[in-house]
Structure 1
Amino acid sequence: MAAGTFDISELREGAMPSRREMMRLVASLSMPAIMAELSVIIMQYIDAAMVGSLGAQASASIGLVETTLWLTEGLCFCAATGFTVQVAQLVGAGRDDRARNVTRQAILVLTAFSLVMLGISAAISGSLPAWLGGRPELLDDASRYFLIFSCALPAMQMIRLGTGVLQCSGDMRTPSALNILGCVLDVVFNWFLIFPTRDVDLFGVAFAMPGAGLGVTGAAVGTAASQVVVMVLMIYFALIRNPKINLRIPGSWRLERRTVATAGRLFAPMALERIVENSAYIATTVIVAPLGTTAMAAHTLAITAESLCYMPGYGIGAAATMLVGQAHGAGRRDLTRGFANFAVLLGMLLMAAAGVVLFVAAPYIMAWLTPDQQVRELGTLVLRIESFAEAFYGAQIVVSGSLRGTGDILGPTVINLACMWGLRIAASVPLALVMGLPGVWIAMAAELVVCGGILLVRLRRGKWLDRKVLAG
């Protein structure tokens, strides 16, 4: 078995790896995704530092619409997952021909979906910043950033599909490498688009560095351009070079009611979760915006800084979806439970360690992201509050990823939504009035602990193991 790949058929029928082998397999398959997440985080830090160097107003204008962009991009992820979970189970069952046909249908449906999302985003881009309670000086930059970023949604949709298809067919390495490339390109494009032409001294050699001087608009254009490049490469590697999902092999492009309906059943609860969850993020933005530009900038940059801790969780969650999906599709109940348990344990341990790092390094991270002393101090405080909840956030991410592999999406969705609105938002409003931004982040940390704990109980009970295989 090559590093970074996995196929359930490589285990003979009835064979069960040892605990050490299972942990090693979960770790090895998670590593490419974790490294990709790490590169994304590093590039996000650099990106945020580039914009942050323009001042608190620039950071706040992006932060104003950032949560809405999470919603639109998240819906594209949900739509792709409705098909990629089916692909994982079909590959696990050894039905590669059927997996290819499901992928063909996904391309047709997801292209149409992303174009609809682009149309809606373009229609609301002019009014959105004002709806969110943004201050007048933020509105123009925020509106342009949202519109330009939204134009990349079709490319992001295909990247999500390609990443999911490669991961669920057992290839964790290729999508990780391509996503790393996308982050590098984003920084390179931003370097030339955000700043004006300026004098640079490199190793004692002075020269004029060309630049477009577009500011916040340049950050959006750079991100969109990088996504288009990655989309082209992702389509090539996921749909042409991939030995299992090679669309050069003849097959059908006809939409099938069962496939689309199954994707819809998976998409609906995930989309509901994203809509309500991101509505909560947007509501948080509305709560934070009146606290002032400093609080808005600190909130935005702290969210970027905290993403350091997401890295192992989302990497392991992606590996868990693939491993659990293949094991469930092959009818291996023992492997399904084993992979889920080990993935969750590893995710919690690594995110707890990341939380410790975040607590210690918070002032240094904020100092890198912004030159504004008030923003630095406030950002450091809220990051240290959040660091205590990271282990349970890891449980939330990886348990959800594991259950997703069996098609168990509705239950975790209800749990996440109830905790988000019933605890985080309900507590944020009074705490913000009394404590300002730190009160909002205390509510956030409490919600992560409660939600992660409830999902661990659901994983332990094991009813999700009895779900029917979607592949049929």
Structure 2
Amino acid sequence: MEKDIQTIEGRGAKPLFDRAYLFRLILPLVAEQFLAMTIGACDTLMVSSIGEAGVSGVSLVDQFSQLMIQLFAAFATGGAVVSSQYLGHGSPDNARMAAKQLFNVAGFIAVALVVICLPLRKPILGLLYGKSEADVMKNALDYFVWILVSFPFLAIYNSSAALFRSMGNSKISLKVSMVMNFINISGNAVFIYGAGIGVNGAGLATLLSRAVAACVMLFLLGNRNNEIYIDKFWKVEVNFPMIRRILTVGIPSGIENSVFHIGKILVQSFMSGFGTVAIAANAISNTIASFSNIPGSSIGLGCVTIIGRCIGAGEKGQAKSYGKKLMQVAYVAMFCTSMAIFILAPVLVRAFNLSDESARLASGVIRTCMCANVLLWPMSFTMPNILRAAGDAKFTMVVSNISMWAFRVLFSFLISSFIIARNPGSTHLALYGVWFGMYLDWIFRGSLFFARFCRGKWLDKKVI
């Protein structure tokens, strides 16, 4: 890798990161993502003991929850980009100030969401998923309360994890994630199987795990031996110029992520008319398919630190070289995971408490997804993190929004409607239309992100 960087730089510049540093940063991220996905699958598996109505209800809320999670992640990315660039620039005091402002922004948004959404939870779910069956909606409403209350803790955890990644320390978030997920899975066992309180148990376990993780992260960030530390959390210090820098990345990323998941929710909304078989199959398909994305997702998180520091240090050539290498690794790793899941799909699906019809549908959907993942996912979702880390967040926002509405939403509806028209007695088969619309979305956005990277315009953006 060092030789490649020197060749691209054309002047023998000293690499900012060696291979060992990259492994120390990325491997814990892979482990953390795998752990989170595994626990998520176990969570779904435990909820499935309640029945398909329980799985469906939780999956409907999870779509809304993912919207909020991505919103928090967007602002965390903004804080991480600014902090990484300041560290690369050799300005740790400014990096610490950026970290404090990140908590101000994330905390305010999280509390506002709870205050607004908690009393309006029934109209919100009714508006989005009014076509759902009565028992599915009841489970969704019960689960939604606990998830809403957990949002402030989730915002703190995401912001803290992003800051530790900015320092190149991804082991911390891995260790805390292990504690968080242990509490979650143990709580599920106690509340679902022991106390028998169903989806309420799953929600309560999630709330407790996020609260503990947030408190641990705050304690660790108070250590003055860190490059970035925060003391006196209770003292509000507002620095509007720094907030503006964070929002330069955070707002476009937040709009991008929010619109992306609003589109997914709309798709989920009209998909709720496909029946419980399709909803349950979709939930399990998403759970299993997400495992194949772990390498690309982990490398994307690492890109924020690596590319951000390169840009902060003024090493644009190294930023592009590291971007190429990280993308190559993402493709190789995702090929391995996708092919493994393609082969094992029928076996993996049977681990969940699905009907035979739902299991067959989920297996077919997963296999189409694995074929698309190998070619399209890294360019569509790992690549934009490279662009964002340099401050090119507006471009990724515009491309993602156009792609979402033109392809994922519109074509999902058109293809699904066509399938229903051809198979009126098997409406659940329309689920394939939703996923094929998603693949068209990946093709469009991935092509534009690749062109942007090759042209190098992203290297001319300025954040600090």
- TM-score (norm: length of structure 2): 0.90
Residue of structure 2 in register with 1:451 after alignment: 445
Residue of structure 1 in register with 2:68 after alignment: 72
Higher share in helix: 2
Q: Deviations over 1:9-62 (max 9, x none)?
A: xxxx973349xx866654442111011001111111111111112211111111
Aligned residue among 382, 387, 391 for 1:403:
387
- Is structure 2 residue 52 aligned with structure 1 residue 56? yes
Q: Deviations over 1:153-204 (max 9, x none)?
A: 1100000110011001111111122123212221111110112xxxxxxxxx
Q: Percent identity?
A: 22
Q: Distance in 2 between matches of 1:28 and 1:164?
A: 15
| Contact 2:280 2:354 survives alignment (8 Å) | no
Aligned residue among 423, 442, 464 for 2:458:
464
**Structure 1 residues 86-235: aligned runs within 5 Å:** 86-131=82-127, 132-133=129-130, 134-195=132-193, 211-235=194-218
**Structure 1 residues 322-333: aligned runs within 5 Å:** 322-333=305-316
Q: CA deviation at 1:410?
A: 0.9
Q: CA deviation at 1:371?
A: 3.9
Aligned residue among 288, 309, 322 for 1:305:
288
| Contact 1:125 1:144 survives alignment (8 Å) | no
Q: Distance in 1 between matches of 2:61 and 2:321?
A: 40
Q: In structure 2, the residue corresponding to 1:180 is in which secondary structure?
A: helix
Could you say if the C-alpha distance between residues 293 and 371 of structure 1 is closer, same or farther in structure 2, counting changes exceeding 3 Å? Answer: closer
Residue of structure 2 in register with 1:425 after alignment: 409
- Runs of 5+ in structure 1 lacking a partner? 1-12, 196-210
Q: In structure 1, the residue corresponding to 2:350 is in which secondary structure?
A: helix
Which residue identity does 2:394 align to in structure 1?
A: L
Q: Deviations over 1:190-247 (max 9, x none)?
A: 110112xxxxxxxxxxxxxxx1111011101101110011111111223326521123
Aligned residue among 13, 16, 34 for 1:15:
13
Could you say if the C-alpha distance between residues 321 and 407 of structure 1 is closer, same or farther in structure 2, counting changes exceeding 3 Å? Answer: same
Q: In structure 1, the residue corresponding to 2:314 is in which secondary structure?
A: coil
Q: Deviations over 1:332-363 (max 9, x none)?
A: 11211111111111112211222211211111
Q: Distance in 1 between matches of 2:214 and 2:27?
A: 22
Q: Deviations over 1:113-155 (max 9, x none)?
A: 2100111221321223322232222122101211210101110
Aligned residue among 222, 242, 247 for 1:259:
242
- When structure 1 is superposed on structure 2, of 282-291 and 236-245 the one drifting more is 236-245
Aligned residue among 359, 364, 370 for 2:353:
370
Q: Distance in 2 between matches of 1:100 and 1:17?
A: 25
Residue of structure 1 in register with 2:42 after alignment: 46
Which residue identity does 2:156 align to in structure 1?
A: M
Could you say if the C-alpha distance between residues 245 and 280 of structure 1 is closer, same or farther in structure 2, counting changes exceeding 3 Å? Answer: same
Q: CA deviation at 1:101?
A: 1.8
Aligned residue among 245, 250, 270 for 2:228:
245
Q: In structure 1, the residue corresponding to 2:213 is in which secondary structure?
A: helix
Q: CA deviation at 1:92?
A: 1.0
Q: Deviations over 1:400-440 (max 9, x none)?
A: 11112111111111111211111121111122123311121
| Contact 2:221 2:230 survives alignment (8 Å) | no
Q: CA deviation at 1:253?
A: 5.5
> For this pair of structures, how many residues does the alignment match?
440
- Runs of 5+ in structure 2 lacking a partner? 1-10, 420-429
Aligned residue among 246, 254, 261 for 1:278:
261
Aligned Cα root-mean-square deviation (Å):
2.0
Q: Distance in 2 between matches of 1:188 and 1:359?
A: 30
Q: Deviations over 1:58-79 (max 9, x none)?
A: 1111112221111112112222
Residue of structure 1 in register with 2:6 after alignment: none
Q: In structure 1, the residue corresponding to 2:13 is in which secondary structure?
A: coil
Q: In structure 1, the residue corresponding to 2:38 is in which secondary structure?
A: helix
Q: Distance in 2 between matches of 1:124 and 1:360?
A: 44
Q: Distance in 2 between matches of 1:287 and 1:113?
A: 29
Q: Distance in 1 between matches of 2:35 and 2:338?
A: 18
Residue of structure 2 in register with 1:416 after alignment: 400
- TM-score (norm: length of structure 1): 0.89
Residue of structure 1 in register with 2:436 after alignment: 442
- When structure 1 is superposed on structure 2, of 212-221 and 127-136 the one drifting more is 127-136
Q: CA deviation at 1:301?
A: 1.2
Q: Distance in 2 between matches of 1:112 and 1:318?
A: 24
Q: In structure 2, the residue corresponding to 1:123 is in which secondary structure?
A: coil
Aligned residue among 366, 385, 409 for 2:368:
385
Q: Deviations over 1:228-276 (max 9, x none)?
A: 11111111223326521123499x9531221112222222211211221
